[in-house]
Amino acid sequence: MLAVRAVRIDPDDPLSGLEIGEVPEPEVPDGWALVHIRAAALNHHDLWSLKGVGLAPERLPMILGCDAAGVDEQGNEVIVHAVIADPDAGDGDETLDPRRSLLSEIHPGTLAERIAVPRRNILPKPASLSFPEAACLPTAWLTAYRMLFTRASLRPGDTVVVHGAGGGVATALIVLARAAGFRVWATSRDASKRERAVALGAHDAFAPEDRLPARVDAVMETVGRATWKQSIRALRTGGVVVVSGATTGDDPSADLTQVFFMQRSVIGSTMGTRGELERLIRFCDVSGVRPVIDSVRPLSEARSGFERMLGGEGFGKIVFSLE
């Protein structure tokens, strides 16, 4: 079967370790299910894997990919939950299991014609969602859902800042936040992406260094070092920064005086639970909210999708089709 694999780690030239070709069929252990993939979405996690972050050299070659939608052995249309973990070890939350992993870290990922996953990790796909739309939900969109509604505990009418408009998580944050009744401000260094963020639903968009019109209730932070100072100082007293990534570096100045004196909170967030994914799917189904898709291309052309993501050219999710 056709698959996209990491065969070599190179932090400086990650795509040199990318291979597209034929691989053996997956083994299906007891309690697992075989899923025939119809669409799979690309994430920054896949680029980080090629750089050696979260993927050890001894696990190579590894099929990449966390997101997928497809058809199970009984012909049911399904969405794959990417977190492989024991919810009991996390007191009911599999993201808190200290031994958790994502597909493509220990177990083969979703950028393949067929994959094996624990039966617990497949959820019904509603007919209202296309396979490419459904494939966008389990990583970037689930991350955004948990950031906004579980970790930040925002309420309708609150104001939220979303940095890095254009990325998969950022576009999900904008769409979900606007649909939930929040005032949404987006930031990007790219003027065209600021315009697209507003067209997507943001009430306004700014350059990261711009002074905002008012203090905000929450900042959704996926950028890291380049926006951290602005994130902390944009908050109202008692506001919260929710962090789910650090694409520009994970070692900014902590700005601790701002944190303790203004009683601002910094909260981490990673992926989401099966239950949260189920609620996100239902939210999309009943509200009409749909993932923002940058492009859909055949899995055989996956390298061009990786190149687009690496170059920062996309707006929304890059999806690979196997239909």
CA distances from 3 to 65, 94, 134, 136, 151 (A): 10, 27, 20, 18, 35
Predicted pLDDT of residue 249 = 81
Where do the domains of the chain lie?
2-136+291-321, 141-268
Whether pTM > 0.85 for this model: the answer is yes
**Average pLDDT by stretches of 10, the chain with 323 residues:** 97 97 96 97 96 94 97 97 96 95 97 98 98 97 97 95 91 96 96 95 94 96 87 94 87 87 93 97 96 96 96 92 90
Superfamily of domain 141-268: NAD(P)-binding Rossmann-like Domain (3.40.50.720)
Chain-centroid distance, C-alpha 252: 22
CA atoms of 50 and 64, how far apart (whole Å): 9
CA atoms of 215 and 160, how far apart (whole Å): 10
Contact 220, 149 (CB under 8 A): no
Predicted pLDDT of residue 248 = 81
Domain covering 2-136+291-321, topology: Quinone Oxidoreductase; Chain A, domain 1 (3.90.180)
Closest to 276 measured CA to CA, from 163, 74, 84, 139: 139
Contact 30, 118 (CB under 8 A): no
Reduced to 3 states, what is the DSSP secondary structure of residue 85? coil
Tokens of 142: 């689930």
Predicted pLDDT of residue 22 = 97
Closest to 317 measured CA to CA, from 161, 142, 149, 152: 142
Q: DSSP secondary structure string, 159-221?
A: EEEE-SBTBHHHHHHHHHHHHTT-EEEEE-S-HHHHHHHHHHT-SEEE-TTSPPSS-EEEEEE
Tokens of 192: 């065209």
